Amino acid sequence: MSQPTVFIETYGCQMNVSDSELMLGKLAAEGYAAVQSPEAADVVLLNTCAIREHAETRVIGRLTELRRFLKPDAVLGVTGCMAQRLGPRLLDSDSRVSLVIGPDGYRALPLLIEGARKGERMIATDFDLEEHYEDVQASRFDGVKAWIPVQRGCDYRCTYCIVPFTRGSERSRRLEDVVRETQRVVAEGLTEVVLLGQTVNSYHDGARGFADLLRAVGAVPGLRRLRFTSPHPNDFSDGVIGAMADVDAVCEHVHLPMQSGSSRTLRRMLRRYSREEYLDCVARLRVAIPGLGLTTDIIVGFPGETDEDFRETLSAVREVGFDDAFMFKFSAREGTPATRLPAEMTVPGDLVDARFDELLKTVRGIARDRNFRRVGERCEVLVEKEARKGELMQARSREFRTVLIPGDKRMIGQYHHVELTGTTGSTFTGQIVRERTPLPVSS
Ligand code: 5AD
Ligand code: SF4
């Protein structure tokens, strides 16, 4: 038989991107070749997200659409958080789907595909708290940075969140294993690593915590940039912040989900911190790491959110001055505690829309003001890929700013010093300056 082919489409967060890389790695080891379109594939997998209803609706639509493209005998599978959440319901609702695999089931992927090819409908949604896919070598998509999962699952129980249900309890990989994987990717020529976990700074392998991990990974020779996502504010101990400040490779950027600026709402979200504690965490980070870039996640319209609560979110946004934010309208997820709140607490849709628009404007306005003031500054960037428009390349500063610079594909993976020459308000344009050009002396 000719070499079997697989196509994976990934939805949702970086953890899913990383899981897709693991699945492709597992299948490559079994002789599969990855292809870039579903028409050509013997196996088509949608690696899905369940965080908001919208994410699931997109996948349902895509499954219907895919029917038209698939080879008649292709195996169609759904993996990831939606597979875990819906399990057999997915098989019942779509006769074309013959494979449903949750995030802890990818080790058995070749066997499950085998079964599906024989005409059986296969499902694997058991949690496995030991599973880190330690022996699976990921097929990485990105030639510049490596996503390295260090922790799976989540032990927080934020009342809106489906993740603890779809990814199970928190467990961490052994520090040595993470260091070994970092050494391997650096040997392959990558110079940036992003450590992944649902609450990544609560990492603990039984003996070592996140501060130890940052120091150990940051010491790998040849690694130039170390990032992590997403941390929880409560897990920024002085030890972790100290390690971030000490380790040269750790980038000056933190994505710190706030969710709300109202202590009352935060309490009902079971975020386990107040507005003041969040702001204090930001202050401690900023003192330790000058020039820190800060981004966040915010939910609007959580049940019971009053106008006053929302105003507090706006004022916290102003007080922190985020560089950017991902903003979401609350989406009720089946089985989560927030769905058990009385129906009259639901924030009406048009009010959610209005709040969302106001938040968007506020976040963008603040980012724009900050960014216009930065034009003329210099920074180091890593060239990541071709930009969507023009003859430009997309590069990133250590603070996570996007900078478009003139150049071509040969520059991918290179570091350059640039001067920021302009901004749209969110992204920058830049010009390469010689590395040894002295920085202007401020008076
Ligand atoms: N509704 C809306 N947004 C949500 N998020 C998580 N669960 C929900 C939900 N039910 C957001 C949070 C989280 C980000 C990944 O998605 O802001 O940080
Ligand atoms: Fe969800 Fe909260 Fe865990 Fe983040 S910390 S994954 S929001 S439960």
pLDDT at site 127:
95
Residue nearest to atom 1 of ligand 2 (CA): 161
- For the chain, how many structural domains are there in total? 2
Residue 316 lies in a domain: no
Residues 6 or more apart from 398 whose CB is under 8 A from it?
Answer: 225, 251, 252, 253, 293, 379, 380
pLDDT tens-place string over residues 210-224:
999 999 999 999 999
Residue among 279, 333, 339, 273 at smallest CA distance from 304: 339
Q: Which CATH number characterizes residue 10's domain?
A: 3.40.50.12160
The values of phi and psi at residue 216, to 5°, are: -70, -45
Distances (CA, A) of 282 to 189, 212, 253: 34, 21, 12
The reported pTM is 0.95
Q: Of all atoms in ligand 1, which is nearest to the CA of residue 162?
A: 7
| Cβ(352) – ligand 1 distance below 6 Å | no
| Cβ(142) – ligand 1 distance below 6 Å | no
pLDDT at site 391:
86
Q: Which ligand is nearest to the CA of 328?
A: 1
Residue 203 lies in a domain: no
Q: Which ligand is nearest to the CA of 270?
A: 2
Residue nearest to atom 7 of ligand 1 (CA): 161
Q: How far apart are CA 397 and CA 251, in angstroms?
A: 9
Helices 210-218 and 238-246, axial angle in degrees (round to 10) = 10
| Cβ(161) – ligand 2 distance below 6 Å | yes
Final residue of a structural domain among 124, 140, 168: 124
* Contact between residue 395 and residue 381 where contact means Cβ atoms under 8 Å apart: yes
Which amino acid, 223? L
Distance 177 CA to ligand 2 centre (A): 25
pLDDT at site 443:
42
Residue 409 lies in a domain: yes
Distance 375 CA to ligand 1 centre (A): 33
Residue 29 lies in a domain: yes
Residue among 290, 232, 249, 26 at smallest CA distance from 145: 249
Residue 21 lies in a domain: yes
Residue 254 lies in a domain: no
Distance 302 CA to ligand 2 centre (A): 15
| Cβ(161) – ligand 1 distance below 6 Å | yes
Distances (CA, A) of 144 to 21, 23, 165, 192: 14, 20, 33, 7
pLDDT tens-place string over residues 369-408:
999 999 999 999 999 999 987 789 999 999 999 999 999 9
| Cβ(277) – ligand 1 distance below 6 Å | no
Residue 31 lies in a domain: yes
Q: Which CATH number characterizes residue 416's domain?
A: 2.40.50.140
Q: Which ligand is nearest to the CA of 300?
A: 1
Domain that holds residue 105: 5-124
Residue 92 lies in a domain: yes
441 has a pLDDT exceeding 80 = no
Final residue of a structural domain among 124, 151, 177: 124
Distance 60 CA to ligand 1 centre (A): 20
Strands in 237-314 per DSSP E? 253-255, 293-300
Final residue of a structural domain among 93, 108, 124: 124
187 has a pLDDT exceeding 60 = yes
